[in-house]
Structure 1
Amino acid sequence: MEVTNPATGERVDSYEEDGQDDVEAALETAVETFDSWRDRPLQERTDLLSNAAEVLRENEQRYAETMTEEMGKPITQAKSEVEKCAWVCEHYSEHASEYLDEKGHPSPAGSSVKTVYEPLGPVLAVMPWNFPFWQVFRFAAPYVTAGNVGLLKHASNVPGCSEAIEEVFREAGYPEGAFQSLLVSSDQVEGILEDERVKAATLTGSGPAGRSVAATAGENLKKTVLELGGSDPYVVLDDADVEAAAETGAWARVQNGGQSCIAAKRFIVHTDVYDEFEEKFVEQMESYTVGDPTDEETEIGPQARESLLEDLHEQVEDSVDAGADLLTGGEPLDREGAYYPPTVLANVPEGCPVDSEEVFGPAAPVYEVEDEEEAIRKANDTQFGLGASVWSEDRERGERLAGRIDAGCVYVNQLVKSDPRVPFGGIKESGYGRELSGAGMREFVNRKTVWVE
């Protein structure tokens, strides 16, 4: 695996892929570890998770630099990502006992009936490059603490992050095999998932990758959780705080270089405030500092790969050719590295790429709508259903419209985010299942009924 720094185009490092013998050894180790790990008292597992939080914080700078070097995330955002991983570890360390507490049921006199939550075994996680630490920890913290063991197949452009995460668990004191990183190519995933020793799988990534994993898992009757793409609507109503909506919306579009499934991607604005929003939104998009991701002043770094920049630019160009108006940006920056500026398009034709496809970069289409009904129709006019944001000074109105948007989560007067305290996941082409909170922790357990007469 060759790693290239997207900010410079220079080769960073080379990693040897794991062969079939390595995979076999990892699977054997996972099974052996699970046999004892599942029986460890929950308190011991949560104590280790607290240790993991400490390891993350102690090595924050180094882990952040690895992210920045491999996929271009601005260093300040990379450090925030490491801190968020420490937070999710602390959250499950504190709340795992509550989430996994057995549940009693009504039963006849003289008997007791309850549901207990038991781990399944080795869980395969296929994870993406855009949040290379957070995506992993939001699966690993709950699932491993529930008594499962983890096998990570990370994206091929972040092998250093993959090995660093394995280091976190090792340094925290976890037994060998509780969490293992596999440096394998995507074409090896099917064989690993088919292996009877792997009991379940979770994937965050593209629709085609999700379908492939779901199909293989389905043929082998294995549980899956999929978090796929998104084209999240950002609805600004006529009574919204326009300045706040524009400022938050711009950041919701460009953070992490716009490379986020839950980024705000389609800005749907009521006609009464459209002109004001467009002006403030463009102004905000143009205000960001684009540059060297190792510089703490940088807000937008490069796209993670040159090919991703090319795909993004093609979407923008094809949309302009179809009739969209380019308000700012729209051309790769004339500098070394895969840099693309914050871009805004208006009068976007229906069916053009930025309207109908997921846009994975800092390009934002803005739509003008006449009323609430048109806003809801446009918000739901997508194959995706991950998140959505609604802006209104009337909180009851915002909540009412939130109930009509087809998405796994809707935030009123806030950007969409993943938070350890609440369930996260999508519907439609955005996948199924939930991560985080108690709902996420109980995805990969056997909900066993125990009846004692």
Structure 2
Amino acid sequence: METLQNHIGGRWEEPVGEDVVTVVNPATEEAVARFRAGGPEDVDRAVAAASAAQPGWAALTVARRVEHLHAWAGTIAAHSAELAELECREMGKPVGIGQSFIAGAVAGLKAAADQALTYPFTETVTGAAGERTDIVRHPLGVTAVITPWNFPVVMVLGALGPLLAAGNTVVVKPSERSPVSTVRLFELAAASGLPPGVLNLVLGDARTGTALTEHEEVRLVHFTGSVGAGRAVGTATGRRLTRSVLELGGKDPVVIDAGVDPVATAQAVAFGAFVNTGQICTSMERIYVHERIADEFVEALVAAAGTFAVGDGLDPATTLGPLVDERQRDTVRRHVEDAVRKGATVRAGGAVPDRPGYFYPATVLTGVDDTMLVMTEETFGPVAPVTVVPSFEEGLTRAAASRYGLAATVYTDDPGHIAAAARLPVGVVWVNQWQGGGPERLYEPARDSGMGATGARAAYDAATRPAAVHIAPAAPAAGR
């Protein structure tokens, strides 16, 4: 069993905390790693190392910083299979699926870094009287990234590109439930030549995260996680008058129009609901289907659910790995049991299998309503609850009736319906393709799903502080 350490100022260090955290393989329930949970002293050292490294990092040219990030990305790409296997062992994601997500994250890191080459770190505005104003965007300094357990590698890479390319240094605190692959990321960063102190790692639990978000020298916190924890982060940074970018929970709706192919759409929805065992913030968790195609859609969705093979993600035949731990599986089971007790019908899955590991099958529910937890609270598991609606408009209305506002997906061939869907109160609307969009996409979650625009230029705006330098013509010297 591996013993994990912090990475601070280019060196591996044993955390000073006394509490020991054990990481468990959710497919076998066997321990795979352990570490001491870091505390305020660890955070202080990591922030000090980042602060010491920041001026030198910011002094590099933008092009040189981008070169460093590309070198790291190349090293990660060469080790993507290894990283995917580590993710599988610590949180259950099937290796093949994990490797595809990591490949996308590497491409995203490169694209985000390259955006620094065209980002206007300095802009000049000229006035009518010959004066000019230079708007200079400075790095913030030391920043923090706190990542969730469901995408350990992807979420780290997704946050770091703009922060580092803009000249900031970073302290990363991964989830205590899945830190193993993040530790390997830091080994690869050192091997690729990233300067010491630019990127620092502190292991720990919520107490470690609190120490990081409350640290006086941390000028931005990029947090992905639960709504409750996000509120605590926002409170801490607001109290210090510093920034936070929060991507929190979701209860993403899907609205399916009458004119689409019900079988093809059901297959797409099954992937969006069940991939990564439903442990994605933007998983399809509320499905509203037009009554004209509902029967055929549900039949096809049930059939698609049956194709998701439950098992250890190290087995290439597995397409549905375990949930991350027993606590998460209990949440899923509680939501399904609540729905059944209130009148829902289980059309596929719906029961914990009799085997070791924290498994739960791909599950389809019909007859659901908004009194059920599975329609109002984030389930974060492989459950697809289906509601039949009399019209696309009714589907949109139901989709909007949520305290969450992360993303939504609609399937329609009607231009008017597409225009109406664009007004949904969410950060991202996908039309006819879940998870679409390129590197220039930017968005901000709505409602309880978070705050702070991210992506493309917005990510660089968040990672920098603009200062205006106003320059007026000098007065002529006396006698001239």
**TM-score band (shorter)?**
over 0.9
Separation (CA, whole Å) in 2 of partners of 1:7 and 1:424 = 35
Q: Which residue of 2 aligns with 1:29?
A: 49
Amino acid at match of 2:453: R
Shift of 1:37: 1.0
In terms of mean alpha carbon deviation, does 313-322 or 421-430 score higher? 421-430
How far off its partner does 1:172 sit?
2.1
CA distance in 1 between counterparts of 2:40 and 2:388 reads: 54
Match of 2:462 in 1: 443
1:403 counterpart residue number: 422
The CA distance in 2 between the partners of 1:264 and 1:419, in whole Å, is 20
- Does the CA contact (< 8 Å) of 1:52 and 1:86 recur in 2? no
User: Are 2:36 and 1:16 aligned?
Assistant: yes
TM-score for the superposition, normalised by structure 2: 0.91
Q: 1:189-204 counterparts in 2 under 5 A?
A: 189-204=209-224
Equivalent pair of 1:324/1:345 in contact (CA under 8 Å): yes
Alignment-derived partner of residue 229 in structure 2: 209
Q: Are 2:354 and 1:329 aligned?
A: no
2-structure distance, mates of 1:178, 1:81: 25
- Tell me which residue corresponds to 1:389: 409
Equivalent position to 1:3, from 10, 23, 30:
23
Cα distance in 2 between the residues matched to 1:89 and 1:100: 19
Deviation per residue, 1:347-380 (Å, 9 max, x gap): 1122211111111000011011111321111011
Q: What residue in structure 1 maps to residue 62 of structure 2?
A: 42
| CA separation of 1:362 and 1:418: change in aligned 2, threshold 3 A | farther
| Runs of 4+ more than 6 Å apart | none
Whether the aligned pair in 2 keeps the contact of 1:241 and 1:391 (CA below 8 Å) is no
Match of 1:244 in 2: 264
1:418 shift after superposition = 7.0
Q: Give per-residue Cα distances to partners, 1:84-135, cap 9 Å, x unaligned.
A: 2210222133321212443343523312224222110111111101011111
Task: Tell me how far 1:320 sits from its aligned partner.
Answer: 0.6
CA contact (8 A) 2:263 2:300 kept: yes
Kept in 1, the 8 Å contact 2:72–2:194? The answer is no
1:432 aligns with 2:438: no
CA distance in 2, matches of 1:397, 1:295: 45
Query: How far apart are the structure 1 equivalents of 2:180 and 2:200?
Result: 14
Cα RMSD for the two superposed structures: 1.5
Q: Return the match for 2:442 from 423, 435, 440.
A: 423
Please report the TM-score for the alignment, with normalisation by the length of structure 1.
0.96
Percent identical across equivalent pairs? 31
Residues 305-344 of structure 1 mapped to structure 2, 5 A cutoff: 305-344=325-364
Quote the offset at 1:424 in angstroms.
4.0
* 1:295 equivalenced with 2:320 (yes/no): no
| Separation in structure 2 between the aligned mates of residue 24 and residue 219 of structure 1, nearest angstrom | 19
Q: Do the aligned residues in 2 keep the contact of 1:257 with 1:302 (CA within 8 Å)? A: yes
CA distance in 1, matches of 2:305, 2:283: 14
Q: Unpaired segments of 5 or more residues in structure 1?
A: none
Aligned mates of 1:362, 1:159 — CA distance in 2:
23
Q: C-alpha distance in 2, partners of 1:182/1:135?
A: 16
Deviation per residue, 1:130-158 (Å, 9 max, x gap): 01111111111111111111111110011
Question: Which deviates the most, 219-228 or 95-104?
Answer: 95-104
Task: Output the CA distance in 2 between the equivalents of 1:6 and 1:333.
Answer: 14
Q: In 1, are the aligned partners of 2:162 and 2:463 still within 8 Å (CA)?
A: no
Q: CA deviation at 1:298?
A: 1.4
Aligned counterpart, 2:201: 181
Distance in 1 (alpha carbons) for counterparts of 2:84 and 2:402: 35
